[in-house]
Amino acid sequence: ILTAKLTKACPLNPRQRGFIRAVGCSENLKLLQTIIQSAKGEHKALGVVFVDMAKAFDTVSQQHILHALQERQADPHSFNLVSNIVKKSFCDLC
């Protein structure tokens, strides 16, 4: 329910696979495989970058997360839930 509400305020990129119900990585891996095969077949240079977002929330300030939700006019109930989760996660690091 929270994901559905937050998606209204903060739409996700269609390639997003974390924190949502999805096939998982297989679709993105198939896309990557297709791009690599195409580049090889056309003898084109290809650069690939992988971004590991593990522990991403450890590097984003809780104030920034809450400010972004306010800016995008997330409903108050969802905002309070995320606020409590973020504050609890932050306090667990103390």
H-helix or E-strand spanning residue 77: helix 76-93
Residue 76, SS3? helix
What is the domain range of residue 60?
Answer: 1-92
pTM confidence score: 0.45
Name the range with the highest mean pLDDT among 8-17, 49-58, 78-87. Answer: 78-87
Q: pLDDT tens for residues 79-91?
A: 888 888 877 655 5
Long-range contacts of 54-59 (CB under 8 A, 24+ apart): 57/86, 57/89, 58/93
Q: Per the structure block, which two tokens stand in for 24?
A: 């998982």
The answer to whether 90 and 62 have CB atoms below 8 angstroms apart is: yes
Q: pLDDT tens for residues 54-80?
A: 665 566 778 888 888 888 888 888 888
- Cα separation, 21 vs 36, in Å, equals 27
Number of domains in the chain: 1
What pLDDT does 64 receive? 83
